[in-house]
Amino acid sequence: MTRSAIRVSTLVAVALVTMLVATRGVAQLQPPAYAANASQADSPHRINEVSMIAVPTFDYPSRTLIDYVYAAYMRYPTATDSPYSIKVASGKMAGGGWTQSTLPLPYWADNAGDPVLASNPTSFEYAPNRMYLAGRTWVGSTPHTDQISVWTLHADYYLPQWTFQAGLGFDPGVFDTHDVDKPAIAVSTYAGTRGHAYLIYLRVGGGEASTIQFSRNTFNDTWDSPHAVYTAPSTSDALQGIRLDVDPGTGLLYLSFLNWTAGTVNVRVSSDEGTTWSPLYTTPAAGLLTNNNGFVSCSGCIFSPSFLMSTFNGGANSLALVYHRRRPGGGAFNSEVVMRQFYLPAGCFSPEVRVSGLNAEQPSLHDQWQGAVACANDGTCVVSYYDHLATEGTIYRLYDRRVNNDGTPLRFENDVLLHSPASNAGSFVSNRMEYHDVFQRNSVWYTVGVISTPSENTSDVWVTSQ
């Protein structure tokens, strides 16, 4: 080979390497471009059960639509379990202050928790989205007096107040022997049902098998009377992690949940806005953590049973499902986050794929729990989760990573640390840490999780954008 040929070959090789590095730089999920403590305004407190959305909101100072992030969370007074309340923090990820809003609770309400958020795509020029917030509220001082409350917000710059819209699942005039729990809410972007909102929640107790209740709001501010769309096989079956998603291309509703007792992941589908539902699709899920064995790590310092998180992945035309379980052969306190998909029309589930801590030097010493998932138009997804290393006492960290639609790792992608310094589980209320969230909009990944500041004996809501 001549010197000139060698020179050309070398230049081509260098160009290919340069292209590869450039491709890696574009493809990789980057550390947070912006992060904020969204709940700091009313510290000290302790936080659990967070939910988030990002919505385009008309920003009068800039005269443009800007993504505002809304993070709902369950707030406890420092070092005590009650009274707890729902707060909502909102702010711009590009900078600026964060505002905490106080919800107008129904006049009989005492405590409120389990918040979930959803936005409405129905557009107006200056108030582009109506947002929904649902949570569980106590409506009396005796047992079994709770309901699912729903609030709405027009996400306009000058309309920050929430409006109480409905209370579901309890009749204040009749003593109720049941409890309600863990609401989930979704809004359709499908052309035929655009703006229609759907809500589910658990109804338990009364010596009866647990049921999943369903209600619908066809954008007229009126919610249908709730009715059961699934009943557990027996009174001993514990249903948890209930989720509701809408396929934006077809309007199909996907109801998904875990059965802790049976050790299964379950899905039902409706093509008529919840009037009728498909048979139950189910698949085994070994190693689920329950109320009886819910400590994930620290030999008893973090209590976090398995809950399901989900999203419809339009890029893959599948339902993405994420939850944590005991690592097979990993010992009493080793947990990991796994992902799988559900497909129609076959009605089948893909295998479980571990999506947490893949690049850890000592994976057997790591515990990961409470995964959350969002997916982009190309079918790739981001999974966020908490991580604890057994040799670090009660220290934990918040990570995320990008994966393929089936959960398998993307080439060159690693876990991304979302907050530094590390947090301490000693700031949890009763050792409990349940839920966090991921949201994707306009090619930006937003995450929300719980961090802690041990020196202040408090925990806070940490929001990032990537």
Q: Kindly write down the DSSP assignment for every residue of 314-326, as one continuous string.
A: TTTTEEEEEEEEE
Per-residue model confidence as pLDDT tens digits over 382-424: 999 999 887 888 888 999 999 999 999 898 888 999 998 889 8
Q: Which is more confidently placed, 102 or 420?
A: 420
Q: Which is more confidently placed, 43 or 210?
A: 210
Distance between CA atoms of residues 94 and 328, nearest Å = 42
> What mean pLDDT comes out for the span 113-137?
77
Q: Which of 122-126, 190-194, 346-350, 419-423 has the lowest mean pLDDT?
A: 122-126
- pLDDT, residue 370, reads 92
Per-residue model confidence as pLDDT tens digits over 292-312: 777 776 656 788 889 999 999
> What mean pLDDT comes out for the span 31-37?
91
> What mean pLDDT comes out for the span 148-160?
75
Residue type, 51: S
Q: Structure tokens of 34?
A: 């912006």
- pLDDT, residue 24, reads 31
> What mean pLDDT comes out for the span 201-205?
93
Distance between CA atoms of residues 199 and 211, nearest Å = 14
pLDDT at residue 157 tops 70 = no
Q: Which is more confidently placed, 25 or 427?
A: 427
- pLDDT, residue 456, reads 60
CATH of 33-465, one of 2.120.10.10, 3.20.20.70, 1.10.645.10, 3.10.330.10: 2.120.10.10
Task: Annotate 173-196 with b (16+ C-beta within 10 A) or e (fewer).
Answer: eeebebbbbbbbbbbbbbeebbbb
C-alpha gyration radius of the chain:
22
